[in-house]
């Protein structure tokens, strides 16, 4: 099953279903999968459809990638930035932040398959995902300072939380990209794989094999601690465990575990 999110005559984000995993592809290869206003709108619509599909557990993981082999996404479409007023620029940044937050907050595992360049908004989109798998030829960076500006779709906030202040400051203040192996060394990506999309889909299926309530709760607890501090995160974690302990799925999983242990004994 597949669908396309339309903007004008262009299917800028396409999706296909592989069991409990949805694969979403930014489909502007001739533009290095640049994130135009239309792409942002299409990503928002895609996230809404994932929220609906996740409600009953039919979708438990999402893979985000780019069309072609050259780029995951080269970043914001610069054509959309020409002539912006201050208020227009602020609204455009807030719009992108809201959409990327929506993707980050999806109640499913979200994995970026970085099949090529991930610059600017492209890296910010990848950082909104829970995990990132990079192709060996991928390059990642926040080059906004070379255009006399700074990241505006979450880069100044997510990058330091992933790689630490020092490395994030280096990347943001120099604008210099890094290769996939350095991204792996600093923890910006989880793995470097030749067939990064296949690896990301396989990883997604490993997550999707688990209970969708537990996936949602784990993501919520991680997010709570990162945003609200460890004390708040611990409270959310304890409450989630208490709620999950009351579910039929958890009762059955515990019984099955004990039965297997008894047989082995």
Question: Side by side, which strands form the sheet with 109-114?
Answer: 2-7, 10-18, 21-26, 61-66, 109-114, 131-134, 191-192
For 139: left if phi > 0, alpha if psi spans -120 to 50, otherwise beta; the answer is beta
Instruction: Give me the phi and psi of 150, to 5 degrees please.
Output: -135, 165
Percent of the chain with pLDDT over 90: 87
pLDDT at 83 over 80: yes
Tokens of 186: 């600093």
Please state, rounded to an integer, the average pLDDT across all residues of the chain: 94
Residue 70, number of CB atoms within 10 A of its CB: 14
Q: What is the CATH number of domain 2-208?
A: 3.90.226.10
Q: What is the CATH number of domain 212-264?
A: 1.10.12
Lowest mean pLDDT among 9-13, 14-18, 191-195, 207-211: 9-13
Which sequence positions are flagged as catalytic?
A: 124, 144
Examine domains 2-208 and 212-264 and report if their fold is the same.
Answer: no
pLDDT digits (tens, 9 = 90+) for 112-161: 999 999 999 999 999 999 999 999 999 999 999 999 999 999 999 999 99
pLDDT at 255 over 80: yes
pLDDT at 253 over 90: no
Closest Cα to residue 110, out of 23, 29, 33, 42? Answer: 23
Cα angle 142, 144, 147 (rounded to 5 degrees) comes to 150
Average pLDDT over residues 92-106: 97
Domain ranges of the chain: 2-208, 212-264
Tokens of 78: 């610069």
Cα–Cα distance measured from residue 54 to residue 3, given in angstroms and rounded to the nearest whole number? 17
> What's the pLDDT score for residue 249?
87
Instruction: Give me the phi and psi of 81, to 5 degrees please.
Output: -100, -10
Give this prediction's pTM.
Answer: 0.93
> What's the pLDDT score for residue 257?
87
Cα dist from 40 to 1, 98, 121, 148, 153, whole Å: 22, 10, 10, 23, 11
């Amino acid at each position: 099953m597949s669908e396309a999110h339309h903007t004008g005559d262009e299917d800028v984000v396409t999706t296909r279903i592989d069991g409990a995993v949805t694969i979403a592809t930014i489909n502007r290869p001739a533009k290095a999968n640049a994130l135009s206003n239309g792409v942002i709108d299409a990503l928002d619509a895609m996230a809404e459809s994932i929220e609906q599909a996740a409600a009953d557990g039919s979708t438990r993981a999402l893979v985000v990638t780019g069309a072609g082999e050259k780029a995951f996404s080269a970043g914001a479409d610069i054509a959309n930035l020409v002539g912006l007023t201050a208020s227009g620029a602020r609204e455009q940044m807030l719009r992108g932040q809201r959409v990327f937050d929506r993707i980050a907050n999806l109640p499913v595992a979200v994995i970026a398959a970085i099949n090529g360049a991930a610059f600017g908004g492209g890296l910010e989109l990848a950082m909104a995902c829970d995990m990132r798998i990079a192709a060996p030829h991928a390059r990642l960076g926040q080059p906004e300072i070379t255009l006399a500006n700074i990241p505006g779709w979450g880069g100044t906030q997510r990058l330091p939380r992933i790689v630490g202040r020092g490395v994030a400051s280096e990347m943001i203040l120099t604008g210099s990209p890094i290769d996939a192996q350095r991204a792996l060394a600093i923890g910006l990506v989880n793995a470097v794989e030749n067939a990064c999309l296949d690896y990301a889909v396989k990883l997604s299926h490993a997550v999707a094999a688990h209970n969708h309530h537990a996936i949602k709760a784990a993501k919520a607890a991680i997010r709570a601690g990162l945003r609200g501090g460890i004390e708040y995160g611990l409270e959310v974690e304890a409450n989630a465990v208490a709620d999950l302990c009351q579910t039929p799925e958890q009762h059955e999983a515990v019984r099955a575990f004990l039965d297997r242990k008894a047989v082995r004994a």
